[in-house]
Amino acid sequence: MSRVGSFQEGAGPRGIVSQGAKAWLGRWSEGWNQFWFAPRHSHVLAGIRIATGAMLFYTHCVIALDLASFLGSDAWITPALARELHDGTYGMASGAWSYLWFLSSPAFLWWHQAFALLVTLLMTIGLGTRVVVPLAWWMQLMFMHRLTGALFGLDQVTTLLVTYLMLAPCGSRWSIDAWLRRRLDQQHETPAGQLLQEPRQGPRRRWLVSFFLPAAEPSTATTVATRLIQIHLCVIYLFGGLWKGRGEMWWDGTAMWFAAANHEYRSLDLTWLADYPLVFATLAHATLFWEIFYPALVWPRLTRPLVLGMAVLVHAGIAIFLGMITFGVIMIVANSAFVEPSLLTPQTCSADRRSPGPSASSTSPRNARGRR
Protein backbone atom coordinates (compact mmCIF):
# COMPACT_ATOMS: atom_id res chain seq x y z
CA MET A 1 0.00 0.00 0.00
CA SER A 2 1.37 3.43 -0.92
CA ARG A 3 1.91 5.69 2.08
CA VAL A 4 1.75 9.01 0.26
CA GLY A 5 0.26 8.24 -3.09
CA SER A 6 -3.07 7.24 -1.56
CA PHE A 7 -3.80 10.79 -0.37
CA GLN A 8 -6.37 12.56 -2.48
CA GLU A 9 -5.04 15.46 -4.44
CA GLY A 10 -6.24 18.82 -3.21
CA ALA A 11 -6.97 17.63 0.32
CA GLY A 12 -6.23 20.24 2.99
CA PRO A 13 -4.01 19.66 6.04
CA ARG A 14 -6.93 18.23 8.04
CA GLY A 15 -7.83 15.95 5.19
CA ILE A 16 -4.26 14.71 4.90
CA VAL A 17 -4.10 14.02 8.64
CA SER A 18 -7.45 12.23 8.48
CA GLN A 19 -6.44 10.15 5.49
CA GLY A 20 -3.08 9.38 7.07
CA ALA A 21 -4.74 8.25 10.29
CA LYS A 22 -7.18 6.07 8.38
CA ALA A 23 -4.38 4.52 6.36
CA TRP A 24 -2.37 3.89 9.52
CA LEU A 25 -5.37 2.31 11.26
CA GLY A 26 -6.03 0.23 8.18
CA ARG A 27 -2.51 -1.12 8.16
CA TRP A 28 -2.72 -1.72 11.91
CA SER A 29 -5.98 -3.60 11.47
CA GLU A 30 -4.56 -5.67 8.62
CA GLY A 31 -1.49 -6.51 10.66
CA TRP A 32 -3.60 -7.44 13.68
CA ASN A 33 -5.83 -9.69 11.59
CA GLN A 34 -2.93 -11.43 9.92
CA PHE A 35 -1.10 -11.88 13.21
CA TRP A 36 -4.04 -13.37 15.08
CA PHE A 37 -6.38 -14.85 12.52
CA ALA A 38 -4.44 -16.13 9.50
CA PRO A 39 -4.98 -19.91 9.63
CA ARG A 40 -2.07 -22.02 10.74
CA HIS A 41 -1.19 -25.71 10.74
CA SER A 42 -1.49 -27.60 14.03
CA HIS A 43 1.71 -29.66 13.99
CA VAL A 44 3.43 -27.63 16.69
CA LEU A 45 0.42 -27.52 18.98
CA ALA A 46 -0.05 -31.25 18.51
CA GLY A 47 3.51 -31.77 19.71
CA ILE A 48 2.96 -29.40 22.64
CA ARG A 49 -0.26 -31.30 23.48
CA ILE A 50 1.62 -34.59 23.69
CA ALA A 51 4.41 -33.13 25.85
CA THR A 52 2.07 -31.16 28.13
CA GLY A 53 -0.28 -34.12 28.54
CA ALA A 54 2.66 -36.36 29.44
CA MET A 55 3.96 -33.78 31.91
CA LEU A 56 0.55 -33.41 33.56
CA PHE A 57 0.24 -37.19 33.74
CA TYR A 58 3.64 -37.39 35.42
CA THR A 59 2.88 -34.61 37.92
CA HIS A 60 -0.36 -36.38 38.89
CA CYS A 61 1.56 -39.65 39.30
CA VAL A 62 3.99 -37.89 41.66
CA ILE A 63 1.15 -36.36 43.70
CA ALA A 64 -0.40 -39.84 43.89
CA LEU A 65 2.78 -41.13 45.58
CA ASP A 66 1.87 -39.05 48.64
CA LEU A 67 -1.75 -38.17 47.98
CA ALA A 68 -2.85 -37.74 51.59
CA SER A 69 0.05 -35.38 52.35
CA PHE A 70 -0.98 -33.01 49.58
CA LEU A 71 -4.76 -33.34 49.35
CA GLY A 72 -6.00 -35.20 52.44
CA SER A 73 -7.63 -33.82 55.57
CA ASP A 74 -4.23 -33.89 57.35
CA ALA A 75 -2.26 -32.54 54.41
CA TRP A 76 0.60 -30.09 54.81
CA ILE A 77 -1.94 -27.41 53.97
CA THR A 78 -5.32 -28.67 55.15
CA PRO A 79 -8.33 -28.22 52.85
CA ALA A 80 -9.81 -25.64 55.24
CA LEU A 81 -6.58 -23.65 55.35
CA ALA A 82 -6.25 -23.78 51.54
CA ARG A 83 -9.72 -22.23 51.36
CA GLU A 84 -8.92 -19.63 54.02
CA LEU A 85 -5.74 -18.60 52.20
CA HIS A 86 -7.97 -17.52 49.31
CA ASP A 87 -11.34 -16.57 50.76
CA GLY A 88 -10.32 -13.38 52.54
CA THR A 89 -9.68 -14.82 56.01
CA TYR A 90 -6.08 -13.64 55.76
CA GLY A 91 -6.30 -10.48 53.71
CA MET A 92 -7.99 -9.73 50.42
CA ALA A 93 -10.21 -12.47 48.98
CA SER A 94 -8.93 -13.90 45.72
CA GLY A 95 -10.82 -15.17 42.68
CA ALA A 96 -9.52 -18.69 43.25
CA TRP A 97 -11.90 -21.54 43.99
CA SER A 98 -11.55 -25.30 44.13
CA TYR A 99 -13.92 -28.12 45.00
CA LEU A 100 -10.90 -29.84 46.54
CA TRP A 101 -11.23 -27.41 49.46
CA PHE A 102 -14.37 -29.25 50.48
CA LEU A 103 -13.66 -32.86 49.54
CA SER A 104 -10.95 -34.81 51.30
CA SER A 105 -12.19 -38.34 51.90
CA PRO A 106 -9.50 -40.85 50.88
CA ALA A 107 -11.90 -42.76 48.61
CA PHE A 108 -12.93 -39.63 46.74
CA LEU A 109 -9.35 -38.43 46.41
CA TRP A 110 -8.18 -41.74 44.95
CA TRP A 111 -11.01 -41.86 42.42
CA HIS A 112 -10.38 -38.22 41.58
CA GLN A 113 -6.67 -38.85 41.13
CA ALA A 114 -7.35 -41.87 38.92
CA PHE A 115 -9.69 -39.74 36.82
CA ALA A 116 -7.06 -37.00 36.51
CA LEU A 117 -4.53 -39.60 35.36
CA LEU A 118 -6.99 -40.96 32.80
CA VAL A 119 -7.81 -37.50 31.46
CA THR A 120 -4.17 -36.52 31.05
CA LEU A 121 -3.32 -39.88 29.50
CA LEU A 122 -6.10 -39.41 26.93
CA MET A 123 -4.83 -35.89 26.28
CA THR A 124 -1.35 -37.29 25.60
CA ILE A 125 -2.49 -39.97 23.18
CA GLY A 126 -5.08 -37.63 21.67
CA LEU A 127 -8.34 -39.46 22.20
CA GLY A 128 -11.38 -37.22 22.64
CA THR A 129 -9.14 -34.14 22.76
CA ARG A 130 -12.04 -31.70 22.37
CA VAL A 131 -13.36 -33.00 25.70
CA VAL A 132 -10.31 -34.14 27.64
CA VAL A 133 -8.13 -31.04 27.08
CA PRO A 134 -10.75 -28.66 28.59
CA LEU A 135 -11.26 -31.24 31.36
CA ALA A 136 -7.50 -31.35 31.98
CA TRP A 137 -7.49 -27.52 32.16
CA TRP A 138 -10.37 -27.46 34.67
CA MET A 139 -8.82 -30.14 36.87
CA GLN A 140 -5.47 -28.37 36.67
CA LEU A 141 -7.04 -25.17 38.06
CA MET A 142 -8.71 -27.15 40.84
CA PHE A 143 -5.37 -28.71 41.78
CA MET A 144 -3.54 -25.38 41.60
CA HIS A 145 -5.93 -23.68 44.02
CA ARG A 146 -5.75 -26.66 46.37
CA LEU A 147 -1.98 -27.14 46.33
CA THR A 148 -1.15 -23.61 47.51
CA GLY A 149 2.39 -23.53 48.87
CA ALA A 150 3.64 -26.59 46.97
CA LEU A 151 3.69 -25.05 43.50
CA PHE A 152 6.42 -23.55 41.35
CA GLY A 153 7.24 -22.50 37.79
CA LEU A 154 6.44 -25.92 36.35
CA ASP A 155 2.81 -25.56 37.41
CA GLN A 156 2.55 -22.03 36.03
CA VAL A 157 3.78 -23.10 32.62
CA THR A 158 1.80 -26.35 32.33
CA THR A 159 -1.34 -24.40 33.28
CA LEU A 160 -0.74 -21.75 30.62
CA LEU A 161 -0.07 -24.41 27.98
CA VAL A 162 -3.18 -26.44 28.74
CA THR A 163 -5.23 -23.22 28.83
CA TYR A 164 -4.30 -22.31 25.27
CA LEU A 165 -4.29 -25.87 23.94
CA MET A 166 -7.93 -26.02 24.97
CA LEU A 167 -8.75 -23.31 22.41
CA ALA A 168 -7.26 -25.10 19.42
CA PRO A 169 -7.85 -28.33 17.48
CA CYS A 170 -4.63 -29.71 18.95
CA GLY A 171 -5.87 -33.28 18.43
CA SER A 172 -6.09 -32.92 14.66
CA ARG A 173 -2.64 -34.43 14.20
CA TRP A 174 -0.52 -37.10 15.83
CA SER A 175 -3.47 -38.43 17.78
CA ILE A 176 -6.04 -41.19 17.90
CA ASP A 177 -8.61 -38.54 16.98
CA ALA A 178 -6.69 -37.89 13.74
CA TRP A 179 -6.60 -41.61 13.01
CA LEU A 180 -10.35 -41.87 13.59
CA ARG A 181 -10.92 -38.88 11.34
CA ARG A 182 -8.89 -40.44 8.56
CA ARG A 183 -10.88 -43.68 8.93
CA LEU A 184 -14.10 -41.70 8.71
CA ASP A 185 -12.91 -39.81 5.64
CA GLN A 186 -11.99 -43.09 3.96
CA GLN A 187 -15.47 -44.44 4.74
CA HIS A 188 -16.98 -41.36 3.14
CA GLU A 189 -15.30 -42.31 -0.08
CA THR A 190 -17.39 -45.51 -0.13
CA PRO A 191 -21.06 -45.39 -1.22
CA ALA A 192 -22.22 -46.07 2.34
CA GLY A 193 -20.01 -43.36 3.75
CA GLN A 194 -21.23 -40.84 1.26
CA LEU A 195 -24.61 -40.99 2.97
CA LEU A 196 -23.03 -38.87 5.68
CA GLN A 197 -22.62 -36.14 3.14
CA GLU A 198 -26.31 -36.18 2.21
CA PRO A 199 -28.30 -33.13 3.25
CA ARG A 200 -30.71 -35.28 5.25
CA GLN A 201 -27.88 -36.24 7.57
CA GLY A 202 -27.93 -32.62 8.57
CA PRO A 203 -25.28 -29.95 8.96
CA ARG A 204 -25.35 -30.43 12.73
CA ARG A 205 -23.97 -33.93 12.44
CA ARG A 206 -21.25 -32.80 10.07
CA TRP A 207 -20.42 -29.94 12.42
CA LEU A 208 -20.24 -32.30 15.38
CA VAL A 209 -17.95 -34.67 13.50
CA SER A 210 -15.75 -31.77 12.40
CA PHE A 211 -15.64 -30.40 15.93
CA PHE A 212 -14.89 -33.60 17.80
CA LEU A 213 -12.63 -35.06 15.11
CA PRO A 214 -11.09 -31.92 13.62
CA ALA A 215 -9.55 -32.15 10.18
CA ALA A 216 -5.81 -31.67 9.86
CA GLU A 217 -6.21 -28.30 8.16
CA PRO A 218 -4.88 -24.85 8.96
CA SER A 219 -7.17 -23.08 11.41
CA THR A 220 -7.60 -19.69 13.01
CA ALA A 221 -8.00 -21.26 16.46
CA THR A 222 -4.53 -22.78 16.12
CA THR A 223 -3.10 -19.36 15.34
CA VAL A 224 -4.83 -17.70 18.29
CA ALA A 225 -3.64 -20.40 20.70
CA THR A 226 -0.09 -20.29 19.34
CA ARG A 227 0.07 -16.49 19.54
CA LEU A 228 -1.19 -16.50 23.14
CA ILE A 229 1.48 -19.03 24.15
CA GLN A 230 4.13 -16.94 22.39
CA ILE A 231 3.06 -13.66 23.99
CA HIS A 232 2.65 -15.22 27.42
CA LEU A 233 6.21 -16.56 27.15
CA CYS A 234 7.43 -13.10 26.18
CA VAL A 235 5.78 -11.66 29.32
CA ILE A 236 7.37 -14.36 31.49
CA TYR A 237 10.86 -13.71 30.14
CA LEU A 238 10.48 -9.93 30.18
CA PHE A 239 9.47 -9.80 33.83
CA GLY A 240 11.94 -12.55 34.73
CA GLY A 241 14.68 -10.41 33.18
CA LEU A 242 13.47 -7.16 34.72
CA TRP A 243 13.41 -8.79 38.16
CA LYS A 244 16.92 -10.09 37.70
CA GLY A 245 17.97 -6.60 36.64
CA ARG A 246 17.06 -5.40 40.14
CA GLY A 247 19.58 -7.71 41.77
CA GLU A 248 23.22 -6.76 41.97
CA MET A 249 24.41 -10.37 41.56
CA TRP A 250 23.22 -10.51 37.96
CA TRP A 251 25.24 -7.35 37.30
CA ASP A 252 28.42 -8.25 39.19
CA GLY A 253 28.31 -11.69 37.60
CA THR A 254 28.11 -13.81 40.76
CA ALA A 255 24.48 -14.91 40.34
CA MET A 256 25.44 -18.12 38.53
CA TRP A 257 27.92 -18.94 41.25
CA PHE A 258 25.24 -18.58 43.92
CA ALA A 259 22.83 -20.69 41.87
CA ALA A 260 25.53 -23.35 41.55
CA ALA A 261 26.40 -23.07 45.25
CA ASN A 262 22.85 -23.83 46.36
CA HIS A 263 22.99 -27.28 47.88
CA GLU A 264 19.24 -27.87 47.74
CA TYR A 265 18.96 -27.20 44.01
CA ARG A 266 22.06 -28.77 42.63
CA SER A 267 21.98 -32.19 41.03
CA LEU A 268 25.53 -32.11 39.66
CA ASP A 269 28.54 -30.57 41.36
CA LEU A 270 29.29 -27.21 39.78
CA THR A 271 31.65 -25.87 42.42
CA TRP A 272 34.51 -26.21 39.92
CA LEU A 273 33.01 -23.08 38.35
CA ALA A 274 34.56 -21.12 41.22
CA ASP A 275 37.90 -21.37 39.42
CA TYR A 276 36.44 -19.89 36.25
CA PRO A 277 34.86 -16.54 37.19
CA LEU A 278 34.92 -15.47 33.56
CA VAL A 279 32.63 -18.39 32.68
CA PHE A 280 29.98 -17.91 35.36
CA ALA A 281 29.99 -14.12 35.03
CA THR A 282 29.47 -14.42 31.26
CA LEU A 283 26.64 -16.90 31.84
CA ALA A 284 24.98 -14.52 34.32
CA HIS A 285 25.18 -11.53 31.99
CA ALA A 286 24.04 -13.55 28.97
CA THR A 287 21.02 -14.87 30.90
CA LEU A 288 20.04 -11.38 32.05
CA PHE A 289 20.21 -9.82 28.59
CA TRP A 290 18.66 -12.83 26.88
CA GLU A 291 15.59 -12.71 29.17
CA ILE A 292 15.08 -8.96 28.87
CA PHE A 293 15.43 -8.92 25.08
CA TYR A 294 13.63 -12.20 24.43
CA PRO A 295 10.29 -10.45 23.67
CA ALA A 296 11.94 -8.36 20.96
CA LEU A 297 14.44 -10.78 19.44
CA VAL A 298 12.30 -13.91 19.26
CA TRP A 299 10.07 -12.48 16.48
CA PRO A 300 12.53 -11.62 13.67
CA ARG A 301 13.51 -14.73 11.74
CA LEU A 302 17.14 -13.66 11.78
CA THR A 303 17.47 -13.67 15.56
CA ARG A 304 14.84 -16.29 16.46
CA PRO A 305 17.15 -19.34 16.13
CA LEU A 306 19.68 -17.67 18.43
CA VAL A 307 17.05 -16.80 21.04
CA LEU A 308 15.47 -20.26 20.94
CA GLY A 309 18.90 -21.92 20.96
CA MET A 310 19.76 -19.95 24.09
CA ALA A 311 16.41 -21.02 25.61
CA VAL A 312 17.27 -24.67 25.05
CA LEU A 313 20.73 -24.19 26.61
CA VAL A 314 19.46 -22.27 29.65
CA HIS A 315 16.57 -24.63 30.39
CA ALA A 316 18.60 -27.77 29.70
CA GLY A 317 21.13 -26.36 32.17
CA ILE A 318 18.41 -25.84 34.77
CA ALA A 319 17.18 -29.39 34.17
CA ILE A 320 20.58 -31.04 34.33
CA PHE A 321 22.43 -28.99 36.93
CA LEU A 322 19.75 -27.46 39.17
CA GLY A 323 17.60 -30.56 39.53
CA MET A 324 14.47 -29.05 38.03
CA ILE A 325 14.13 -31.49 35.17
CA THR A 326 10.38 -31.04 34.82
CA PHE A 327 10.59 -27.24 34.77
CA GLY A 328 13.48 -27.23 32.28
CA VAL A 329 11.66 -29.62 29.97
CA ILE A 330 8.34 -27.78 30.03
CA MET A 331 10.03 -24.45 29.29
CA ILE A 332 11.70 -25.98 26.22
CA VAL A 333 8.31 -27.38 25.20
CA ALA A 334 6.71 -23.94 25.59
CA ASN A 335 9.47 -22.33 23.50
CA SER A 336 8.66 -24.73 20.68
CA ALA A 337 5.56 -22.58 20.06
CA PHE A 338 7.90 -20.33 18.08
CA VAL A 339 8.81 -23.12 15.67
CA GLU A 340 7.08 -22.74 12.31
CA PRO A 341 4.84 -25.71 11.48
CA SER A 342 6.40 -25.80 8.02
CA LEU A 343 9.69 -26.81 9.59
CA LEU A 344 8.10 -29.95 11.03
CA THR A 345 6.41 -31.16 7.85
CA PRO A 346 7.59 -29.05 4.96
CA GLN A 347 5.85 -31.26 2.40
CA THR A 348 2.36 -30.77 3.83
CA CYS A 349 2.77 -27.06 4.33
CA SER A 350 4.32 -26.55 0.90
CA ALA A 351 1.41 -28.37 -0.70
CA ASP A 352 -1.02 -26.22 1.25
CA ARG A 353 0.77 -23.08 0.17
CA ARG A 354 0.44 -24.15 -3.45
CA SER A 355 -3.27 -24.84 -3.14
CA PRO A 356 -5.90 -22.09 -3.12
CA GLY A 357 -8.11 -21.43 -0.13
CA PRO A 358 -7.51 -20.60 3.49
CA SER A 359 -4.04 -22.08 3.54
CA ALA A 360 -2.82 -20.33 0.44
CA SER A 361 0.54 -18.68 0.69
CA SER A 362 -0.77 -15.17 1.10
CA THR A 363 -2.61 -16.15 4.28
CA SER A 364 0.06 -17.82 6.34
CA PRO A 365 1.33 -15.81 9.30
CA ARG A 366 4.82 -16.49 8.07
CA ASN A 367 4.15 -14.84 4.76
CA ALA A 368 2.10 -12.14 6.37
CA ARG A 369 5.09 -11.24 8.50
CA GLY A 370 7.30 -11.44 5.47
CA ARG A 371 5.10 -8.86 3.77
CA ARG A 372 5.28 -6.53 6.70
Site for another protein in 155-184 (CB under 8 A): 155-156, 159-160, 163
When binding is defined by CB under 8 A, the residue of 138, 211, 239, 276 that contacts another protein is: 239
Beta-ladder partners of 219: 40
Task: Output 22 or 183, the one with its CB closest to another protein.
Answer: 22
Q: Candidates 7-15, 113-121, 126-134, 318-326: pick the segment binding another protein (CB under 8 A).
A: 318-326
Task: Output 158 or 175, the one with its CB closest to another protein.
Answer: 158
Rounded Cα distance, 259 and 143, in Å: 29
| In 213-345, alpha helices (H) | 220-244, 248-252, 255-260, 277-297, 304-321, 325-335, 341-344
Alpha carbon of residue 337 to chain centroid? 7
Classify the phi-psi angles of 109: left when phi > 0, otherwise alpha if psi is within -120 to 50, otherwise beta. alpha
Report the SS3 class of residue 219: strand
| C-alpha atoms less than 13 angstroms from C-alpha of 118 in its C-beta half-sphere | 8
Q: In the complex, what is the shortest distance from the CB of residue 239 to another protein, in angstroms, rounded to a whole number? A: 4
Using the rule CB under 8 A, is 90 a contact of another protein? yes
Rounded Cα distance, 26 and 32, in Å: 10
Using the rule CB under 8 A, is 139 a contact of another protein? no
When binding is defined by CB under 8 A, the residue of 6, 18, 33, 282 that contacts another protein is: 33
Task: Output 29 or 201, the one with its CB closest to another protein.
Answer: 29
Q: In the complex, what is the shortest distance from the CB of residue 23 to another protein, in angstroms, rounded to a whole number? A: 17
Rounded Cα distance, 14 and 212, in Å: 53
Rounded Cα distance, 361 and 343, in Å: 15
When binding is defined by CB under 8 A, the residue of 20, 31, 134, 153 that contacts another protein is: 153
Q: In the complex, what is the shortest distance from the CB of residue 350 to another protein, in angstroms, rounded to a whole number? A: 16
Using the rule CB under 8 A, is 100 a contact of another protein? no
Q: In the complex, what is the shortest distance from the CB of residue 30 to another protein, in angstroms, rounded to a whole number? A: 7
Report the SS3 class of residue 40: strand
Q: What angle do CA 181, 184, 190 make, to 5 degrees?
A: 150
Q: Candidates 45-53, 115-123, 140-148, 182-190: pick the segment binding another protein (CB under 8 A).
A: 140-148
Using the rule CB under 8 A, is 123 a contact of another protein? no
Task: Output 99 or 179, the one with its CB closest to another protein.
Answer: 99
Answer for the pair 361, 353: CB distance below 8 angstroms, yes or no.
yes
Using the rule CB under 8 A, is 314 a contact of another protein? no
Using the rule CB under 8 A, is 91 a contact of another protein? yes
Using the rule CB under 8 A, is 346 a contact of another protein? no
Task: Output 7 or 36, the one with its CB closest to another protein.
Answer: 36
Using the rule CB under 8 A, is 66 a contact of another protein? yes
Task: Output 50 or 225, the one with its CB closest to another protein.
Answer: 225
Of all helices (H) and strands (E), which one includes residue 19? helix 13-37
Cβ-in-10-Å burial (0-12, 13-18, 19+) of 316 comes to middle
Answer for the pair 330, 161: CB distance below 8 angstroms, yes or no.
yes
Q: Using the 8-state DSSP alphabet, how is residue 246 labeled?
A: T
Q: In the window 190-229, what residues touch another protein (CB under 8 A)?
A: 219-220, 224, 228
Q: In the complex, what is the shortest distance from the CB of residue 11 to another protein, in angstroms, rounded to a whole number? A: 27
| Residue 331 amino acid letter | M
When binding is defined by CB under 8 A, the residue of 249, 279, 286, 316 that contacts another protein is: 249
When binding is defined by CB under 8 A, the residue of 41, 49, 112, 145 that contacts another protein is: 145
Answer for the pair 365, 299: CB distance below 8 angstroms, yes or no.
no
Q: In the complex, what is the shortest distance from the CB of residue 198 to another protein, in angstroms, rounded to a whole number? A: 24
Q: In the complex, what is the shortest distance from the CB of residue 266 to another protein, in angstroms, rounded to a whole number? A: 7
Q: In the window 261-300, what residues touch another protein (CB under 8 A)?
A: 261-267, 271, 274-275, 277
Answer for the pair 344, 48: CB distance below 8 angstroms, yes or no.
no
Taking each helix axis from N to C end, the angle separating 43-65 and 106-125, rounded to the nearest 10 degrees, works out to 160
Using the rule CB under 8 A, is 362 a contact of another protein? yes
